[in-house]
Amino acid sequence: MLKEEAYSRILELRGILEENSRRYYVDNAPTMSDYEYDQLMHELEALEADFPEFASADSPTSKVGSDLETSSESSGREFVQRPHRYPMLSLGNTYSIAEVEEFSARADRTLGTSFSYCCELKFDGTAICLTYRNGRLVQALTRGDGIVGDDVTRNALQISNVPRVLKGDYPEEFEIRGEVLMPYDAFDKLNALRALDDEQPFANPRNAASGSLKLANPDEVAMRGLWCTLYHIPAQSLDFESHDEALRAAESWGLPVSHDRRLCRNISEIKDFIDYWDVHRKDLPFATDGVVIKINEMAYQRALGFTSKSPRWAVAYKFKAEQAITPVLSIDYQVGRTGAITPVANLEPVLLSGTMVKRATLVNEDQIRMLDIHEGDYVYVEKGGEIIPKITAVDLSRRKPGARVPSFPSVCPDCGTPLVRAEDEAKWFCPNSDGCPMQIKGELLHFCSRKAMDILAGEATIDQLFSLGIARTPADLYDLKPVQLLGMDGWKEKSITRFLSSIEKSKVVPFERVLFALGIRYVGETTAKTVARYFGSLDSVAQADEDALKQVPDIGNVCARSIYEYFRDKKHMDEIDRLRAHGLNFSLEQSASATSSDALAGKTIVISGTFAHSRDELKALVEKHGGKSSGSVSGKTSFLLAGEKPGPEKIRKCEELGIPVISEEDFFSMIPHETVPGRIENASFSQLSLF
């Protein structure tokens, strides 16, 4: 590979891995399997080894995935970040027994003496570090970025098997690390409740556990059925001869330590342990995704040391994805918001990795042909990384005589328009973007989504608006009047007021999210942010030619052409003009520095707690009125804007420094009334314009 090609691929891999790391650790909504992520990580490691001049301390290969929530303010959650006493690193992992053998051989060569291994299950949860002082739990931190973690002590105290007080002959102070899990039963109950509330279900127990540990309300954490298992006392924290001895001591103090571990003397015994649990993990009440092999003797752990990212004395062997076999009952063809036609196999329900799988995406027509799926075939289904169900093969021995090949539609299953397929595309598309109901509704749903305009409209609301003919484009949403919504099934005064309020609030959404909301093909959340920051305004993006667009970092030919063609379409520009007339932010300057007044000029404001408005809206208001928003209290802080349950550390520091603490209502009284987003919330229904 040429140096230029290598550098380009390294940058691409870093971007993909960082984006998916955020989705995994922060959003708890992964879109890539563990296996796919690990393979890309290994590719990046190999390229950086071959081209060391491109190595970087900021590369995903040099740092652990971070669960620190840089955007947690918008969700109303806030956790104080505290440093780890000892770095909390991640484990190197492999799917290959040969690489486990290499790990063992390296340890042999380095240590030059006999030693033992402690083999344990690799639990599929979210990492936690507990500190006990004088027998009491005083601190619980998430892994964070390995250097600092979020303080979730109040939530950890709600986990039923985490002791508040220890027993026996415990040390004066120590820390112990492990995993917070959600058992399958609790996971199923949680997703059933979310379904009743029309909320998106969690993808798997690991995501549910991580999301639950970061809830703002500890009482709700207590209802989630979380479980904890502990597996590591840092060698610097306490002086034990071996890892196994440390865990046995922890168990005697009343701590929840896993019993499913074994001392092994050689690679053969390690393989036996792996083979046993590859089969019997299915009998466990919680998710596991592999086996961890550790050098048992603490002195040898210290001798082997660490890399910047992981210990040299441990490795994780990850199980291959679990498989099941089940018949295909039928195949549906879904129409996405861009017109892409995606086949989805409806399966006879089958238990896989602790959840019932009923559907599996087939991606496109080529995959149906590649797999040679016939109607009624028995297929092998697996969860890559135990997240996303996918069909991997067909059991040809069980195919019935005369089974028919599914016929991929030639016309749109929703509007009947003949499908098209470009030469360089794998998917078929419906070109009727202006008249295809599923595309229109998909575009509206995307525009209203939380990461776009954050308007309170799910699928059911969009369906009703579309069916009544009162919303066919995003701009139509801003023309809605209460009288038009009165006829919608189940809608009353309060729901109408909340919905219209969310539309009004969306007008302060920053430019990069507005650009994302437009739904330009190939322009995802990250790309929209990059383009917005490069050009600064929608007008500049619209006027750019393809060559100018290609100059934007990480924008390739296909994306550049898509953006260019979008702004050459008259109907798109007409829609943009309507949105502009409604006051949406179409520039960074408009978003960040369009000052409405100088009411807050020279003031530095810290925002903490849960509010009726989102943190992003409050920060935008601070900036609009000449103020500056800060994340921490200091002598320069003018006042603390406190909602419900503000951070206790911030309140304490304000008291120490004599800094005023004001309410949300007090804050609104300081700025011009007409600039407050969503003031419609505070109006009575009778005061709203019905016409």
Position with higher pLDDT, 257 vs 39: 257
Contacts for 382 with CB less than 8 Å, ≥ 6 apart? 321, 322, 323, 324, 352, 389, 390, 392
Going by the DSSP 8-state scheme, the letter that residue 59 receives in this structure is S
Query: Does residue 280 belong to any structural domain of this protein?
Result: yes
pLDDT at 199: 57
Query: How many alpha carbons lie under 13 Å from residue 479 in its C-beta half-sphere?
Result: 14
Residue 570 and residue 622 in one domain:
no
Binning pLDDT at 50, 70 and 90, where does residue 65 land? low
How much is the pLDDT for 677? 55
How far is residue 133's CA from residue 246's CA, in Å, rounded to a whole number?
A: 17
Q: Report if residue 231 sits inside a domain.
A: yes
Residue found by looking up tokens 């998710």 in the block? 287
The per-residue pLDDT for 591 is 62
What pLDDT band is residue 71 in, cutting at 50, 70 and 90?
very low
Choosing from 529, 560, 590, the residue where a domain stops is 590
Q: Residue 334: which CATH number?
A: 2.40.50.140
Query: Collapsing DSSP states into helix, strand and coil, what is residue 552?
Result: coil
407 in any annotated domain: no
**Residue of 122, 214, 383, 427 marked catalytic:** 122
Q: Which domain CATH number covers 624?
A: 3.40.50.10190
Last residue of a domain, one of 281, 298, 318: 318
Q: Are 92 and 176 found together in one domain? A: yes
Q: What is the pLDDT of residues 439-459, one digit of tens each?
A: 999 999 999 998 899 999 989
Q: Quick one: 124 and 203 in the same domain?
A: yes
Percent of the chain with pLDDT over 70: 89
Q: How far is CA 577 from CA 298, 506, 515, 591, in A?
A: 67, 17, 14, 17
In a domain, 629, yes or no: yes
Express each pLDDT in 398-409 by its tens digit.
Answer: 999 999 999 999
CA angle in degrees (0–180, nearest 5) for 472-473-475: 130
Whether residue 29 sits in one domain with residue 97? no
pLDDT tops 70 at residue 200: no
> Residue 151 carries which DSSP code?
B
pLDDT over threshold 70, residue 521: yes
Distance from C-alpha of 363 to C-alpha of 335, rounded to nearest angstrom? 12
If you search the block for the tokens 């030469």, which residue do you land on?
A: 423
pLDDT bucket at 198, cuts 50 / 70 / 90: very low
Among all chains, which residue has been given the structure tokens 């879904």? 334
Q: Which residues pair with 333 in a beta bridge?
A: 343
Confidence of residue 264 (pLDDT cuts 50, 70, 90): very high
Q: Which amino acid is at 63?
A: K
Cβ atoms 33, 385 nearer than 8 A: yes
- The verdict on 465 and 363 lying in the same domain is no
- Among 350, 368, 398, which residue terminates a domain? 398
pLDDT, residue 616, reads: 66
The two tokens of residue 455 are: 């308007």
Residue 474: is its pLDDT beyond 80? yes
Instruction: Give the integer Cα–Cα distance in Å for 283 and 287.
Output: 10
Q: How far apart are CA 40 and CA 32, in angstroms?
A: 11
Q: Which of 193-207, 218-232, 346-360 has the highest mean pLDDT?
A: 218-232
Two tokens, residue 339:
């017109």
**pLDDT exceeds 50 at position 385:** no
pLDDT class for 687, splitting at 50, 70, 90? very low
Mean per-residue pLDDT over the chain, rounded: 85
Average pLDDT over residues 418-422: 91
> What does the pLDDT average to over 583-610?
79
Q: Is residue 118 part of a domain?
A: yes
Report the C-alpha gap between 481 and 600 in whole angstroms: 33
Mean pLDDT over 381-408 rounds to 82
Residue 628 — φ and ψ, nearest 5°? Answer: -125, 135
- 260 and 358 both lie in a single domain: no
662 in a domain, yes or no? yes
Q: Which among 647, 671, 665 has a CA at the least distance from the CA of 73?
A: 647
Q: How far apart are CA 626 and CA 620, in angstroms?
A: 10
- Structurally, the chain folds into a number of domains equal to 5
Kindly state whether residues 97 and 132 are assigned to the same domain: yes
Q: Read off the pTM.
A: 0.52
Reply yes or no on whether the pLDDT at 155 is more than 70: yes
Q: Rounded to whole angstroms, what are the CA distances from 165 to 137, 154, 663?
A: 7, 14, 37
Question: Which pair of tokens denotes residue 597?
Answer: 């007044």
Residues 379 and 309 in one domain: no
Which stretches of 338-468 are assigned E, i.e. beta strand?
341-352, 355-361, 378-384, 388-394
pLDDT at residue 57 above 50? yes
270 and 215 assigned to the same domain: yes
The CATH number covering residue 141 comes to 3.30.470.30
pLDDT band at 74 (very low <50, low <70, confident <90, very high): very low
C-beta separation of 200 from 194 below 8 A = yes
pLDDT of 19 above 90: no
- Which residues face 378 on adjacent strands? 327
- DSSP 8-state secondary structure symbol assigned to residue 286: S
Question: Does a structural domain hold residue 286?
Answer: yes
**Spatial distance between the Cα atoms of 307 and 300, rounded to a whole number of angstroms:** 15
State the pLDDT at residue 66: 63
Q: Residue 459 maps to which CATH number?
A: 1.10.150.20
634-to-627, 652, 654 alpha-carbon distances in Å: 16, 12, 8
Q: Give ∠ CA 251-255-257 in degrees, rounded to 5.
A: 65
CB 16 within 8 A of CB 524: no
Q: Are strands 117-123 and 288-295 parallel, antiparallel or unpaired?
A: antiparallel
Task: Flag whether pLDDT at 11 surpasses 90.
Answer: no
Task: Give the three-class secondary structure for 340.
Answer: strand
Q: Domain check: are 492 and 576 in the same one?
A: yes
611 and 546 inside one domain: no
Taking residues 117-145, report their average pLDDT.
Answer: 93
Region of poorest pLDDT, from 115-129, 304-318, 555-569, 677-691: 677-691
At position 112, the amino acid (one-letter code) is: G
**What is residue 33's predicted lDDT score, i.e. its pLDDT?**
65
User: Residue 648 sits in which domain range?
Assistant: 597-671
Q: How crowded is residue 57: how many other Cβ atoms within 10 Å of its Cβ?
A: 7
> Does residue 684 sit within a domain?
no
Q: How confident is the model at residue 256 (pLDDT cuts 50, 70, 90)?
A: very high
Please indicate whether residue 603 is annotated as part of the active site.
no
pLDDT (0 to 100) of residue 228 = 94
Residues 553 and 602 in one domain: no
Residues 6 or more apart whose Cβ sits within 8 Å of residue 565 = none
